């Protein structure tokens, strides 16, 4: 049985996860970093997500990977339009 403390801890981790993912997307949309930094930021975000939820890589790939791929595509497109 799950304790109230475990539920609170899970909720805390989920809020932190949402913040990390949202901030990553916002930084990418801001376009103030290099392509390499953008890719590294997404990698670091994935690493942090899997630290929080080690057995959830399939969930990451299903939910967040497409989101980051879309935002990275927009980011790179915006970089190319500046050239």
For residue 71, count other CB atoms closer than 10 A to its CB. 18
Q: Is residue 77 part of a domain?
A: yes
Q: Which band of pLDDT confidence, cut at 50, 70 and 90, is reported for residue 82?
A: low
In a domain, 25, yes or no: no
User: Is 1 inside any structural domain?
Assistant: no
Give me the residue label for tokens 């939820």. Answer: 53
Give the residue numbers spanning the domain of 70.
30-83
Can you read off the two tokens belonging to residue 72? 């990275």
Is 67 inside a domain boundary? yes
| 75 part of a folded domain | yes
How many structural domains compose the chain? 1
Indicate whether 2 belongs to any domain: no
Q: How does pLDDT run across 41-53, given as a tens digit for each residue?
A: 999 999 999 999 9
b/e burial code for range 6-15 (CB count within 10 A of at least 16 → b): eeeeeeeeee
Domain assignment present for residue 83? The answer is yes
> What's the whole-model pTM score?
0.84
**pLDDT tens string 58-73:** 999 999 999 999 999 9
């Amino acid at each position: 049985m799950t304790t109230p403390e475990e539920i609170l801890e899970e909720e805390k981790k989920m809020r932190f996860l949402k913040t990390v993912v949202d901030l990553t997307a916002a930084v990418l949309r801001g376009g103030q970093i290099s392509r390499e930094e953008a890719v590294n930021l997404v990698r670091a975000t994935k690493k942090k997500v899997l630290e929080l939820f080690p057995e959830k890589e399939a969930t990451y790939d299903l939910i967040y990977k497409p989101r980051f791929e879309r935002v990275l595509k927009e980011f790179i497109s915006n970089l190319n339009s500046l050239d």
